[in-house]
Structure 1
Amino acid sequence: MLKRILAGLAVGAVSAIALSSAVTAQEFTLRLPNVDPPYSSVGELRYPNHIYAMMRTFEDALEGLSGGRIAVELYPNGTLGDLRENVESVQAGILEAATPNEGTLSGFFPKIQVLTVPYVFSNPVVAWEVLDGPWGKALFKEMTETTGIRAVAVGENAGFRIWANNTRPVAGPADMSGLKIRTMEITAHQEMVKSLGASPTAIPWLEVYGALQTGVVDGAELPIIGALQQNLQEVLKYATIDQHVYSLGFIVVSEQWFQSLPDDLKQAVIVAGKQAEIAGRGVSQALVGDVTSEFRKRGVEVTVASPAQQAEFKATAQPGVITWASGQFGQDYVTSFLDAVEAAEAELASF
């Protein structure tokens, strides 16, 4: 009898544990949206969208690290609204996560615009050193504390952005004079365009094709991968690669939601975010060269600015944006950023 009772208790305990595991298997849900489709085709190659690569990596990593206690749901193609709406929902605690770029985030945390000082990063590795180092960590900590939005992955929005237009090739600042140029909804970008002698017009991403097609703008400031993905080569004649702004793509989460997690799951979110940002940066870097070649194949005349031309662009565009940023955020803050860039350059040169 005692053996049967003990056996029954053991079975009951196992059942209780199994039931408890089933209940806690999806203890939390994280919904992660984006506006772009998951995959893009470049010539004969098919790639995951660089932001979707971050999302998919984050999903797999977080569900694995949490033992299934956090279920991640991906919503590409704008099914939960545009980027700004997503971030508003995250800030309000309605949505757990979003995937904005620096343009979208600037509406909630204006200081992030200092990262868009034109021609400040000589290559992506310098940008990574700054973003992942003490200066970047302090910036994103301040964003969390002041907005309730936590950046858990700082990836690439296709890396360096490009100029493109339908009027003439752009090989130097003088070629920008008088052009009506689309920008993201970010003041720093508009100040850059003004410094180059062009007229900026803020247009949401999904409206860019129509604006170029109808002549509302002569050209646009664009992410190179996204431009091809949105078939903008159909409404563009010229493109210039000059490394003027290193563009970022984020995974952000609601700080309210993050703080509701137990410590082990908070750690899982942080680790999954680091995995995601590495994946996003890698896919972006791998794709840029193929996209540039595809632009040429599809009839877009691509100009790659020489070091001398880049220096001319920098001398023309950078001072005005630095002056504007200093007035907005303080000279000390801007100087601290420029010092961090200089330190990163020196670190990478110390081989």
Structure 2
Amino acid sequence: MKKLTALLAMVLLASLMAMTAQAGPLGLDKPIELRFAYGEADSWPGKGNYAPFPEEAMAKYFKAYVESRSNGMIKVKLLGNSIMGSNKQVTEMVRSGSLDLCTSTGSLGSMFPAFDMIYLPYVFQSEEIAWWVFDNSKFWKDLMAEMEQKTNMVYLGMGQNGVRNFTNNVRPIKTPADLKGLKIRVMESPIYVKMMDALGAQATPIGWNELYTSLQTKVVDGEENPVSIICAGKLYEVQKYLTLDGHTWSEDLLTMNAPKFHKLPAEAQQLIMAAGRRAAIAGREAEEYNTLLLKMPIIQKNMEVYTPTSAELAQFKTVARPPVEKWLRERVGDEKVDNFLKAVEEAETALGYKK
């Protein structure tokens, strides 16, 4: 019996040594490929392109970081220009496992309603407050752990699609009263419809691909988007007025299919998480560079631009926020909304906005 036990022990030890010898970098036995979908065109680097678009920056940084740090054991196939479908479609594909990774904007709320809290009108005074909440707050860490359980997706990072502003072709928008009666295109998200209703405008959900024509033919009077998106879609050709009210902060959310992620060795998981964090920063910087240095001069040349005063912004917040906050509380509960607002206050204090 002792001889048999010793023989079995030797066999087990030999097997373990063989498995260890076969394992490559990051504990992977063979190279793997991750399929990463995003919406923006593959335009950088190229002649005359000084910076990539935000989603493109995230995807290309993620690919470069993962492939170089894994010694080529993890390959990343980029699927840009919405070739895999809309934001909602690619998010559903990551959830089901038919895609590995994606960046998405405005699509997670239908699967995980608490995510919609980030769209509370005028909740973030600046972009850096939003970043602090996503990068540093325990609230966000806990919320993303809950998101994974309920959606089958792992949160990897939060890039920036931009700060959303109003455009229209009827009149300058300086106060909430100026929005009354205007037909404003919004994303197909109920929270934006609630906001427009509160401001007295007529919310009209229209897909991005139809927006330019809808503005040109006056199906709608205006829309709301970040400056870089307004410029990318050449909406300045069919819109006269831009109001930089920054009513909501808009995300580029990077997620990965949870079963695929958790099947990877721990070292590979750590690499992917690090790549996600760094890709988010790359996306934020690309968005700000595009907006402030590249796109704003084009907008200013072609549109009448107005920046509301602090008093005017307070009017927008007073009108728009209460009905949307009430709707959110009914949808996700008081505790979550209260904890989110507390995290925002913590960010304001940490960054010096609030003493």
TM-score scaled by length of structure 2: 0.88
1:97 aligns with 2:101: yes
1:127-185 alpha-carbon deviations (Å, 9 max, x no partner): 11111221111111111110001120211012x11111111111110000001111112
1:35 Cα deviation (Å)?
Answer: 2.1
1:144 aligns with 2:137: no
Partner secondary structure for residue 63 of structure 2: helix
After the TM superposition, which of the residue ranges 92-101 and 59-68 deviates more from structure 2?
59-68
1:44-101 alpha-carbon deviations (Å, 9 max, x no partner): 7632111100111111111122221110011111222222111111111111011101
From 309, 313, 316, the equivalent of 1:313 is 316
CA separation of 1:18 and 1:267: change in aligned 2, threshold 3 A? closer
The CA distance in 1 between the partners of 2:22 and 2:318, in whole Å, is 66
Aligned-residue sequence identity (percent) comes to 34
The equivalences for 1:176-325 within 5 A come to: 176-290=179-293, 291-297=295-301, 299-325=302-328
The CA distance in 1 between the partners of 2:310 and 2:241, in whole Å, is 20
Report the AA paired with residue 319 of structure 1. P
Q: Which runs of 5+ in 2 are unaligned?
A: 1-20
The CA distance in 1 between the partners of 2:179 and 2:39, in whole Å, is 30
C-alpha contact (below 8 Å) 1:26/1:71 kept by paired residues: no
C-alpha contact (below 8 Å) 1:25/1:70 kept by paired residues: no
Partner secondary structure for residue 224 of structure 2: strand
Report the AA paired with residue 41 of structure 2. P
Q: What is the aligned residue count?
A: 328
Partner secondary structure for residue 107 of structure 2: helix
Report the AA paired with residue 205 of structure 1. W
What residue number does 2:63 align with?
59
The CA distance in 1 between the partners of 2:75 and 2:237, in whole Å, is 40
C-alpha contact (below 8 Å) 1:97/1:252 kept by paired residues: yes
C-alpha contact (below 8 Å) 1:113/1:186 kept by paired residues: no
The CA distance in 1 between the partners of 2:30 and 2:288, in whole Å, is 35
The equivalences for 1:100-119 within 5 A come to: 100-101=104-105, 103-119=106-122
C-alpha contact (below 8 Å) 2:53/2:290 kept by paired residues: no
What residue number does 2:81 align with?
77
CA separation of 1:27 and 1:267: change in aligned 2, threshold 3 A? same
The CA distance in 1 between the partners of 2:212 and 2:111, in whole Å, is 26
Partner secondary structure for residue 167 of structure 2: strand
1:273-323 alpha-carbon deviations (Å, 9 max, x no partner): 0110111111112222232221121x2111111111111111111111111
What residue number does 1:14 align with?
none
What is the RMSD computed on CA atoms of the aligned residues? Answer: 2.1
What residue number does 2:51 align with?
47
1:187 Cα deviation (Å)?
Answer: 1.3
C-alpha contact (below 8 Å) 1:93/1:257 kept by paired residues: yes
1:33 aligns with 2:37: yes
C-alpha contact (below 8 Å) 1:31/1:75 kept by paired residues: yes
Partner secondary structure for residue 78 of structure 2: strand
The equivalences for 1:319-338 within 5 A come to: 319-338=322-341
C-alpha contact (below 8 Å) 2:165/2:227 kept by paired residues: yes
C-alpha contact (below 8 Å) 1:25/1:68 kept by paired residues: no
1:25 Cα deviation (Å)?
Answer: 8.4
The CA distance in 2 between the partners of 1:26 and 1:116, in whole Å, is 42
C-alpha contact (below 8 Å) 1:164/1:238 kept by paired residues: yes
Report the AA paired with residue 212 of structure 1. L
Partner secondary structure for residue 104 of structure 2: coil
After the TM superposition, which of the residue ranges 71-80 and 269-278 deviates more from structure 2?
71-80
C-alpha contact (below 8 Å) 2:57/2:282 kept by paired residues: yes
C-alpha contact (below 8 Å) 1:154/1:251 kept by paired residues: yes
The CA distance in 2 between the partners of 1:278 and 1:292, in whole Å, is 21
CA separation of 1:61 and 1:108: change in aligned 2, threshold 3 A? same
The CA distance in 1 between the partners of 2:164 and 2:35, in whole Å, is 28
Report the AA paired with residue 59 of structure 2. M
1:224 Cα deviation (Å)?
Answer: 1.6
From 346, 349, 354, the equivalent of 1:346 is 349
The list of structure 1 runs, each at least 4 consecutive aligned residues, that deviate by more than 6 angstroms after superposition, is 17-21
The CA distance in 2 between the partners of 1:100 and 1:192, in whole Å, is 21
CA separation of 1:253 and 1:315: change in aligned 2, threshold 3 A? same
The CA distance in 1 between the partners of 2:151 and 2:281, in whole Å, is 25
